[in-house]
Chains A and B, each alone.
Chain A
Amino acid sequence: MTTNTKARWSQSAPLYLDYQATTPTDPRVVDAMMPYWTDKFGNPHSRNHHFGWEAEDAVEKAREQMAELIGASAKEIIFTSGATESNNLAIKGIARFYGDRKNHIITCVTEHKCVLEACRYLEQDGFDVTYLHVKENGLIDLDDLKSAITDKTAMVSIMAVNNEIGVIQPLKEIGAICRQRGVFFHTDAAQAVGKIPLDVNEMNIDLMSVSGHKFYGPMGIGALFVRRKPRVRLVPLIHGGGQERGMRSGTLPTPLVAGFGVACEIASKEMSAEAERLHGLRQRMLDGLQARLPEIFVNGDLENRIPGNLNISFAYVEGEGLMMGIKELAVSSGSACTSASLEPSYVLRALGVEEEMAHTSLRLGIGRFTTSDEVDYAVGRIADEVIRLREMSPLWDMAQAGIDIKSIKWAEH
C-alpha cells in the first residue's frame, strides 16, 4: 500500500466499510439520472404531451430492468419510496385486504424494525402475529415455520438477508412451504437484491420489498413486487390519483426511478463477478484479523451469507469504544451504548450471543468500491486498536488469568 492511499483515509474522509447501511451511488446511475432533473423533467403521468411520454418511457424502462433482475414481469413492480414503505405496504396491505378471513401473520424476531413495528401495529388492531425464533446461525427452522401456519394465516414475512449479520434465509424452501399451504410469502429483500440471485417464480415469492440505495441506486426509491398470478391484492397505504395499479398513489420521481433501473441493470450484469470478488476480499479480511487476534468470533452463518458482510465480536473490547479508536474507518457496532436502554443488538441476542459478546461486535460491510488495499488497511487498524484496548480491559486481564467472567457477581446497572 502506498503512503498516499493511507494518508487519504486518515486525513480526509474515513474509509467506508458500512455497505449494509447504504451504498455509494454508482456513477453510471448518477449519469442516467441527470437528464431527468434537467431537460426531461416531465411528469410521467402526463398523458398528453412529449414531456410526459419521455418521462413515462424512462419509468417503464426501469420497471423492466427491476423485473428482469428478480425474474418478474414489469406489470408486477410497484415503485415506492424505499423498503420501509414497501414492507409497510405489503404487510398492512395484505392484512387489511384479507384480514376479515385470515388474521394471522408469521414473521421472525430478527426482521428489520419496519417489519416488526408494522406487525406490532397490526397486533394492536387485533391481528395475531407469530415471531419465529432463529437458530444460532441466524436462520429460521423450517419445521417451526410449518407448525406455525394455521388456516388463519394470511402471510409469512421473512427477510431474504439480514441487515446486521448478512445471513441468507432459505427462501426457496420457505416459498415452497407457503405455496403448498396457500399462504402469501413476502420477503424483505432490501439487503439481498443485487447481491444474490433471486427469482420470484423459482422461489415462490408473492411479494418482495426492494431498496434502491442498498445496491448503488439512489436513496428515496424502492419497489414492491406484487404477484399477478395467482393474484395478490392489497389495500393501499397512500390514496390519490391511482398510480401504480392503484396500490401506491403519487407522482413517481422520474430521476430516482431511472437511476434505480440502471442500478438493477448493472446488478443483473455484474452481480456474479462482483460477488466472487467480494467473497475473496471478505476472506482476506477475516484471515487477516484472525492471524493477528485471538478470541474473535463471527456472528451468524458464514456459508449462507452475502459476501459483503462480516459481523465479528472482539471479545473483551467494547464495540463503541473500539469504533472511537478506528475513526479512520466508518463501520457500525452491535453495541448500543449510545441508546438510552443500553441494550445491545436484538439480532445478535436472538442468535443467543451473550450480551457481553454482543457489546463487542462490529459490522464490517464491503462492496463495489472496496479494494484489497483498503481491506488490508482496515485489518491493520482494527487489530492495532483491539490489542491496545485489550491491554486496557479488566476483562481481558481476568480471561488471561483464567478467571471465568461469569463466575463474578456483577452489579447490573
Chain B
Amino acid sequence: MAYSKELIDHYENPRNVGSMSEDESNIGTGLVGAPACGDVMKLQIKVSADGIIEDAKFKTFGCGSAIASSSLVTEWVKDKTLDEAATIKNTDIAEELALPPVKIHCSVLAEDAIKAAVSDYKEKTGKKSSDNKDKAAAE
C-alpha cells in the first residue's frame, strides 16, 4: 500500500508531540480509542482567556495513519475557536492525508479526539464557573 507524501511527512516528522498538564484549568484533554483495537489518541488543547486554541499536543499509539492524523489535527486546531475546531470533519483529514479506505477509522478517531478535548475543556471551565456561582451564592 502506497501512502501519500503528506501522510509520510506527518509520520516521520510529527508536529506537536508531547503532553501538557491535565490539571491546568485552561487545558482540555481528549483520550480516545482503545489499546485492544490497536489505536489510542491523546489530544490536548490549551485555550486562551478569549476562547482561542493557543497550543495543541498529541501522543498516539497506533499505525502510521493514526499518528499522521493526530499530528495533522494539532496543526489544524491551532488559532481556532473551540466552535471552529469542532467543525473539523474526519473526511477533511482523510482527504488531506489521502488515507486509504481501510484507514478511514484513523481520521474518525482524530475527529473524536478533537471533540473529546473540546468537551473536556468546556466541562472543566463550566464546572469552575458554576463552582464560582455556588460560591458567590453562598457568600
Contacts and interface: CB of A to CB of B under 8 A. Distances in A.
Contact of B63 (A318, A344, A412): A318
B63 A392 contact: no
A321 interface: yes
23 contacts: A318-B38, A318-B63, A320-B64, A321-B64, A321-B66, A324-B64, A325-B11, A337-B39, A338-B1, A340-B102, A342-B38, A344-B38, A355-B36, A355-B37, A359-B35, A391-B17, A393-B60, A393-B61, A395-B35, A405-B35, A412-B34, A412-B36, A413-B32
Given A392-B60, A395-B40, 15 more contacts: A318-B66, A321-B62, A321-B67, A324-B11, A354-B36, A356-B36, A394-B40, A395-B61, A396-B61, A410-B33, A410-B36, A411-B33, A413-B33, A413-B105, A413-B109
Interface of A: 316-318, 320-321, 324-325, 335, 337-340, 342, 344, 354-356, 359, 391-397, 405, 410-413
A405 B64 CA distance: 22
Given A411-B32, A413-B109, A394 B41 contact: yes
Interface residues of chain B: helix, strand, loop or mixed (majority): mixed
B61 A394 contact: yes
Contacts of A338: 1, 102
Nearest to A396: B61
Most A CB contacts (10 A, CB to CB) among B11, B38, B41 go to B38
Interface in B40-67: 40-42, 59-64, 66-67
Most buried by B among A337, A339, A410: A337
A147 to B, nearest CB: 33
A-B pairs, 9 with minimum CB distance? A356-B35, A410-B34, A324-B64, A355-B36, A394-B42, A359-B38, A394-B59, A320-B63, A393-B61
A405 B32 CA distance: 13
Interface of B: 1, 3, 11-12, 14, 17, 19, 31-42, 59-64, 66-67, 102, 105, 108-109
Given A337-B38, A359-B38, A410-B35, A316 B63 contact: no
B114 to A, nearest CB: 15
Contacts of A413: 32-34, 37, 105, 108-109
A255 B105 CA distance: 47
A318 B39 contact: yes
Contacts of A342: 37-38, 105
B19 A397 contact: yes
A337 B38 CA distance: 7
B2 to A, nearest CB: 12
A354 B14 CA distance: 28
A385 to B, nearest CB: 11
Contacts of B108: 413
A397 B59 contact: yes
B109 A392 contact: no
A306 B105 CA distance: 37
A23 to B, nearest CB: 24
Nearest to B17: A392
Contacts of B38: 318, 320, 335, 337, 342, 344, 356, 359
A299 B105 CA distance: 28
Contact of A317 (B17, B19, B61): B61
A402 to B, nearest CB: 15
